[in-house]
Amino acid sequence: MAEKGSQARSTAGAPISIERIAAQDGRYMPQAYYFVHEALAYKLRQLGEQRHLTAEELLDGIRQLALERFGLMARVVLEQWGVKGTRDFGEIVYLLIAHGLLFRTEEDSKDDFKDVYDFHEAFDESYQVPGEL
């Protein structure tokens, strides 16, 4: 997945916002969409180059950024936003693609996001307290 811009045009030509996409779809809070954009940029910075990310790479960036930002509360925060598994991130990505905010290649599929990691294992069991106590 790669970023196109912060706003896309609706079929009527007016810009469509993340808030509007979230409201129209109704499954996920706007914060989840913004977080996907932030995680994409986070992972690209980590890689040190601007390029297309695979679903697995994006999901790795999402996991890392969520743990860094929210710590032990990462899974709870994501669930509050309506995201309960990696497949939900695929739904968000493909909604952003449908509205022109991200783009995909022919090799990309929504199924690439299916069950990539378990949220309990990725966010609860793998969390390590930073620094020394």
Residue 127 has pLDDT above 90, yes or no: no
DSSP state letters, the chain: -EE--S-EE-TTSSEE-HHHHHHHH-SS-HHHHHHHHHHHHHHHHHHTS-----HHHHHHHHHHHHHHHHGGGHHHHHHHTT--SHHHHHHHHHHHHHTTSEE--TT--GGGGTTSS-HIIIIIIS----S--
> What pLDDT is attached to residue 117?
96
CB-based contact 87:109 (threshold 8 Å): no
pLDDT number for residue 1: 61
Provide the pLDDT for residue 3. 55
Q: Where are the domains of the chain?
A: 23-125
Report residue 93 as tokens: 């990505």
Neighbouring C-beta atoms of residue 43, cutoff 10 Å? 19
Q: Is the pLDDT of residue 4 over 70?
A: no
Report pLDDT digits (tens) over 54-113: 999 999 999 999 999 999 999 999 999 999 999 999 999 999 999 999 999 999 999 999
